[in-house]
Structure 1
Amino acid sequence: MPKYHASPTTQTDRAAGAIMGAFIGDALGVGPHWYYDLAELRRAYGDWIDDYTTPLPGHYHEGVKAGEPSQSGVILRLTLASLISHQGYKQADFCQRLEQDLFTQLEFTKLDSSAKQGPGGYTSQSIRETWHKRVQLQLPWEKCAGPADNTEALERTLGIAACYAGQPKSLSAAVCANTRLTQDDEMVLAHTLAFNGVLGLLIEGHALDATLSDKLLAQVDQGELPFCLSSTSNAAQALDLDDLSDTNLSCADALLTPAYMANLAASSETHIEPAWRVSEAYGMACSIYQLVPAAYYLAARFSNDFESAVLHAINGGGHNMARAMLTGALVGAQVGLSGIPQRFIDGLANSEELVALAKQVAEINTCEE
């Protein structure tokens, strides 16, 4: 499969850029998160948000400071620590860390079944459901997933994609196993895996263009992505990780979305203007099928401009935190850590530690070009 080198960055730099792009997008959303009335968002933060902000009193994430993470950033950091500890994904270790570091330790005692609690000032539906089943009902992990259609699993598994870029079969097995801990909807799993497949290709050096979906479909045909396609002879191959059996996914249309969005971004006739209005075109809510197309579009349109990509994601309102987190990962993978404006690194809480973690994960399985 030919590579496209958009810049002289290395694979390690691109993997670290994907991770740091996600952390930055998450933190940018802490202040202006979940304003569905864009006029209200502009009154609160001005006509254009261009930096980290503090949540207003009474709004989501109250008490979190500018540049600090939401709970999504907290869990992503936890995922990275687990990957580093075992030089790859180990489900038992991840689950233990989630229980100890998020569910039970004293600093996280506010985590309960209510939404506006827990580290970062808000706990997503999928984590609340998992916490209830695992802590209150004491169910085994394989019975703790729920039907939430959000991007919560995607926000943490992108760290796994950064670790396993260039190894699509291992990437697929780890992402599927981790996603199924909290979410059991096949559509959610399909979009989560497809996005991570895209991220892995970008980290390898491929472009986010109209050919990317064909490359994903080729991986299906080679038995590396567990989707069912009538045109492939190898897609029936099952993947396995830590004795967890994965079944093939029927929602293969998730693999086509990157090309559709790349074509849209490249067309002079169908540009969305201004670009932040992509949130209105595909939806401002928390569903994965609304957020992923918008992230693809922004990352394709601003493939070499990290700042424009994440700021248009933020200024579109709604669930802009996830939109910016996913967009930041995709564009960070294209420009590399070296291509992210330094001001976004400097303004991020505990940035030196996060950069060190990102680099360590990026170096686990990468082979430099």
Structure 2
Amino acid sequence: MSAMRRSVSEAFWAMCAADSMSMPVHWYYDINDIRRDFGGWISGFNSPPERHPSSILTLSNTAGSGRTNWSSGAKRANVVGSVILHDKLELWNSSSGSIHYHRGLQAGDNTLNILCSLRVARTLVSRGFVDVSQPDARAAVLSDYVHFLTTPGSHKDTYAESFHRSFFADWQESKPTSPHEVLKFAEERSGMKTSSPFPDCQLDAIGCLPMILPFILLSASANEERAVSAAVEFVKLTHPHPNVPEYVTIYSRALHAVLGGASVREQAEQALRRLDAWDACQSFSRKAAKFSVSSEERLKVHQSAVNYLGMACYNKGALSSLFYLAHEFHDDPKGGILANTNCGGENCNRGAALGALLGAGGAHTGKCIPQEWKDDLRDAQEFIPDILKDIV
């Protein structure tokens, strides 16, 4: 296996591992709840508990983006329960305020966003796209995405974040399904939403990264501009917000460089400088260095850093936290994935992108995630071997 192919492989595995590790404590904003619910800090894959201590699932808008009480104007038809998440509407409407976002998943399962990412990769390699930056590649991916999300029983997750709900709230008006039709719909929708004087802030979120990861990973041998273009042109269709392309570009350049053998630590520093977060991160890094690598005291510094930089989904803060952890764990994918999980907040999508970066770098240095983790990742075991066998 070539060094670059090994880097792509490890990026996929680490992406899935980081998402699955964080899934039971996704959006735990009080990190003490992690220790309480799991008898200590997370150290392996777990099923989600029945109760989520800070769930606001029942406040989420079942007809589109955001929260129910944010919607205005004419009432739109539900997408949850009718177009997507066909058997989950009861949970979204539950009188209980503690429904876990990922009820239905088990230890080693991946969330909906990572399932979508794996399907992106499988579509791109099975269709034989040599250049995944081309419109036909985006069209094929979007057509498969529509089929997957609108097919009852296609996955077990309970939650679909705002970008899914927004996409299908608009999609249900004409219901395009063929690659050409879905691409045309998505491009027209993107143009309207991006130019709106009031863009949807819920789309300027770290959940924009999972589905673009395969476009970068499968462009590892292409030049940087083509790889970045592949990611940016696709994300415009799922997250039509004027800020998103800049953030996706920052991340994509870093991942593409690491796939080619660049230092994770150096790429993280460059990204943090672009995000105006380098000075703050240096301060936390110096504090962390005072404690032993595996100590709880050091973990607490990382938790404080993520809390300061951004625990939530919004891109600037989430990316700052992501690259801080990448810098600190540049040579330790396993440690970085566990730290990300135990920092709480939006740790699934942040973790998936962090995992891809650390996995890609670890392949070049011989620091990979444990084989037992790979063995326990059910969805990854189903997808990744087929994806890799079709990569030249």
Q: Normalising by the residue count of structure 2, what TM-score does the alignment of the two structures yield?
A: 0.71
Would you say the 8 A contact 2:13–2:380 is kept in 1?
no
Q: Deviation digits for residues 107-132 of structure 1, max 9, x if unmatched?
A: 24xxxxxxxxx742210101110011
Q: Does residue 78 in structure 1 map to residue 119 in structure 2?
A: yes
Contact 1:150 1:286 in 2 (8 A): yes
1:243 is matched with none
Identical columns (%): 21
Instruction: Supply the distance in 2 between the matched residues of 1:266 and 1:176 (Cα, whole angstroms).
Output: 31
* Contact 1:141–1:181 (Cα < 8 Å) also in 2: yes
Deviations 1:323-359 (A, max 9, x none): 2212111110111296221121111114433331452
Partner of 2:138: 91
Q: Identify if the C-alpha distance between structure 1 residues 134 and 276 changes in structure 2 by more than 3 Å, giving closer, same or farther.
A: same
Comparing 16-25 and 309-318, the one that deviates more: 16-25
For 1:21, give the aligned amino acid. Answer: A
C-alpha separation in 2, matches of 1:258 and 1:358? 37
Assess if the C-alpha contact under 8 Å between 1:84 and 1:360 holds in 2: no
- Alignment CA distance shift 1:175-1:265 (3 Å): farther
Q: What displacement does 1:181 show? A: 0.9
**Contact residue 213 and residue 258 of structure 1 kept, 8 A:** no
In structure 2, which of residues 212, 230, 234 is the aligned counterpart of residue 157 of structure 1? 212
Distance 2:260 2:276 in 1: 16
Give 1:109-120 correspondences, 5 Å limit.
119-120=156-157
- Residue in 2 that maps onto 1:3: none
- 1:180-195 → structure 2 map (5 Å cutoff): 180-195=236-251
Whether the aligned pair in 1 keeps the contact of 2:219 and 2:227 (CA below 8 Å) is yes
Contact 2:123 2:140 in 1 (8 A): yes
The residue identity in structure 1 corresponding to 2:349 is A
- Aligned partners of 1:288 and 1:137: how far apart in 2? 31
| Structure 1: gaps (5+ residues) | 1-7, 109-117, 215-252, 365-369
User: Counterpart of 1:121 in 2: which secondary structure?
Assistant: coil
Which residue of the partner structure matches residue 134 of structure 1? 171
Deviation of the 1:263 alpha carbon: 7.1
Query: Which whole-Å CA distance do the structure 2 matches of 1:298 and 1:335 have between them?
Result: 14
Residue 171 of structure 1 aligns with which residue? 227
Determine if the alignment matches structure 1 residue 306 to structure 2 residue 343: no
Query: Aligned partners of 1:40 and 1:25: how far apart in 2?
Result: 19
Counterpart of 1:13 in 2: which secondary structure? helix
Residue 353 of structure 1 corresponds to: 382
1:68 pairs with one of 109, 125, 143: 109
| Alignment-derived partner of residue 356 in structure 2 | 329
Question: Among 31, 38, 43, which residue is 1:45 paired with?
Answer: 38
1:133-282 mapped onto 2 (5 Å cutoff): 133-136=170-173, 138=175, 140-145=185-190, 147=200, 148-166=203-221, 167-210=223-266, 256-257=274-275, 260=278, 264=282, 268=286, 273-282=300-309
Aligned CA distance change for structure 1 residues 138 and 65 (closer, same or farther; 3 Å): same
Please name the residue that 1:54 is paired with.
47
The answer (yes or no) to whether the contact 1:211–1:259 under 8 Å persists in 2 is no
Number of corresponding residues: 308
- How far is 1:31 from its partner? 0.9
Amino acid at match of 2:36: R
Give how far 1:360 is off: 4.0
C-alpha separation in 1, matches of 2:273 and 2:216: 16
Stretches of structure 2 that go unaligned for 5 or more consecutive residues are 51-98, 177-184, 194-199, 290-297
SS across alignment from 1:181: helix
Do the aligned partners of residues 280 and 212 (structure 1) sit closer, same or farther apart at CA in structure 2, a change above 3 Å counting? closer
Deviation at 1:262, TM superposition (A): 11
Partner of 1:15: 8
SS at 1:186 equivalent: coil
Rounded Cα–Cα distance in structure 2 between residues aligned with 1:300 and 1:358: 29
Partner of 2:315: 288
* CA distances 1:122-181 after superposition (whole Å, capped 9, x unpaired): 101011100111124548121334531112231111111111124212212211221011
How far did 1:277 drift?
Answer: 3.0
TM-superposed CA distance for 1:46, in Å, is: 2.5
What amino acid is aligned across from residue 347 of structure 1 in structure 2?
D
Q: Aligned partners of 2:320, 2:7: CA distance in 1, in Å?
A: 21
Q: Which amino acid aligns with 2:112?
A: Q
1:185 & 1:198 partners in 2: Cα distance?
Answer: 21
Q: Provide the rounded CA distance (Å) in 1 between the counterparts of 2:276 and 2:2.
A: 22
Name the structure 2 match of 1:29: 22
| AA matched with 1:309 | G
Root-mean-square deviation (Å): 2.8
Superposed CA deviations along residues 214-264 of structure 1, whole A, max 9, x for unmatched, are 7xxxxxxxxxxxxxxxxxxxxxxxxxxxxxxxxxxxxxx887249938973
The alignment partner of 2:286 has SS state of: coil
Q: How far 1:9 moved relative to its partner?
A: 7.7
Q: State the alpha-carbon separation in 1 of the partners of residues 164 and 363 from structure 2.
A: 30
Amino acid at match of 1:106: P
CA distance in 2 between partners of 1:28 and 1:59 (Å): 15
